[in-house]
Structure 1
């Protein structure tokens, strides 16, 4: 997440030094970045993980929460029984019909931060916009549960959903590290899902500096922070393992159709662009939508950043064929 800015004078110096980069941002995104910098890095990786978690929750609690009609979307807490463990989750869209799409949503937070509350807003909006049922999953977090714990949780949850539903209506959706998990599991379970929606994913180690746009470093996420989360998650595991680095997966062809939603002013934007190119080159149907002037983390902040709502509607349009026939999406 954002790096500490130090004293007020250091904050001012940082704003001046980064003025050219800041001008590329949407005005409201620019204001948000400045607020984060002024807070002197409340979610900086230099803090203990427990403090980062508490600060991130406090940050989101202080943001406006009005999601329009989606705020009234019903939800219910449930347990997902998996081999040897039970995960917490939250269902949205209980009003949806039995033939409605089923979205498995995976929150971001660098495999380390976040919980059900972090994705509550976007899950409500997706359930309403897509006329879908949405399962918001609290997968296990690092460093208490290192790689591949989160991956295994998602893969096993897909299996659990497939046993109870038509796999032609199951969609994997994730943002940031959640999109990383969605992309990796889509490769492992291509016949268990109908589509994948990846919002500003990380698809390979951040040690690949050629895939980072450092003009936007520390605009909500920083290269150092991303590397820190990666170390906490991997704990010494091979960063070339395709369960972590889906860009390096051996089979990118024949996967379910993909929509990638990217933020223009995001250091990870080249990751999403590279994955889109790789999927297309391998013959997997893939679309990419880049939101101008947006930063990493914008999705789910519709009450602050209007393009978040635009992204929700783009996802709804992409998944619309699932509402009329489970095979139609394959023909797009």
Structure 2
């Protein structure tokens, strides 16, 4: 299917900016500027997310004596109800991204009032390389298991969720729940995976088909991976590359949503097939005409609203 016309227009403007020297790909920037540029795109992609959301700022302790910030999102009408919860991890290649850059996604996921969203701000590379993000994600999940009642959340109905490497963290927790159940103090009811990174050890055809000019670039992915796990051997660790996990049993039901024009498309499709082969219930959605990061595009792509509606329906069916 051709690119969504509104998205195509946005990408053309981005390409013109690069040709004129007014903008650069993330991997061409220094770290601080790359983070700032990524934050700025959120204001362009989705400037008016739902406003009637109660957002609470929280602090989650980590195993090394530090703490990470988090936000709890609830629709105003659901302030006191015991709600199912999405534990949502933001994308950004473990290097960029924040609670602010993904605020619009969390608001949209919470807007129906059918579930709350807890978003932890795991620590970023290269200051905090692998496995810090994995440890922070596990610590956040275990904190949620302990604190859920006080927050009016149901820790028996937790869905692990994320986009891009945030989805990778969600997959790692879902696998941990089966392979190392003693390490995770809750049993996820489902996993919600948007365009996940599943194998950093090699490139596939989609990395070459969509290497440039489709928002996320293959060179940027490699830049992310180098910052997160500079040791090549780490790329074979299933906590970095879940597609390489061996001996998988049945995991929590998975909703896998991929973008047609995404360097990560092929590995995402392979991961969905791996889950099916393990006996896991999989709902696979390919968003035709869209690129990586479509969840943040509510302000420029009309079809994004329907994507969130479909997610709400799937969660309600669990």
Q: TM-score, normalised by structure 2?
A: 0.88
Write out per-residue CA displacement over residues 216-240 of structure 1, whole angstroms, 9 at most, x where no aligned residue: 2221111111011001001215101
The alpha-carbon distance between structure 1 residues 189 and 167, as it changes in their structure 2 partners (threshold 3 A), is farther
User: Paired residue for 1:55, among 37, 46, 49?
Assistant: 37
Shift of 1:130: 5.5
Which residue of structure 1 aligns with residue 254 of structure 2?
Answer: 258
Shift of 1:49: 1.0
Give distance in 1, aligned partners of 2:219 and 2:258. Answer: 20
Which residue of structure 2 aligns with residue 85 of structure 1?
Answer: 66
Aligned length: 297
Aligned pairs (5 A) from 1:157-236: 157-165=140-148, 166-190=154-178, 192-205=187-200, 207-210=201-204, 212-218=206-212, 219-236=214-231
Give distance in 2, aligned partners of 1:128 and 1:228. Answer: 34
Aligned pairs (5 A) from 1:242-257: 242-257=238-253
Contact 1:129 1:312 in 2 (8 A): no
Give distance in 1, aligned partners of 2:124 and 2:205. Answer: 25
List structure 1 runs of 4+ shifted beyond 6 angstroms. none
Shift of 1:212: 2.8
Give distance in 2, aligned partners of 1:134 and 1:251. Answer: 31
Write out per-residue CA displacement over residues 171-204 of structure 1, whole angstroms, 9 at most, x where no aligned residue: 1110011111111121012452111000000101
- 3-state SS, counterpart of residue 83 of structure 2: coil
Aligned pairs (5 A) from 1:273-288: 273-288=269-284
Contact 1:25 1:293 in 2 (8 A): yes
The reply to whether residue 148 of structure 1 matches residue 134 of structure 2 is: no
CA RMSD across the alignment: 1.8
Unmatched runs of 5 consecutive residues or more in structure 2: 149-153, 179-185
The alpha-carbon distance between structure 1 residues 290 and 183, as it changes in their structure 2 partners (threshold 3 A), is same
Which residue of structure 1 aligns with residue 16 of structure 2?
Answer: 38
Contact 1:77 1:89 in 2 (8 A): yes
- 3-state SS, counterpart of residue 292 of structure 1: strand
Shift of 1:24: 2.4
Contact 1:43 1:55 in 2 (8 A): no
Structure 1 or 2: more strand by fraction: 2
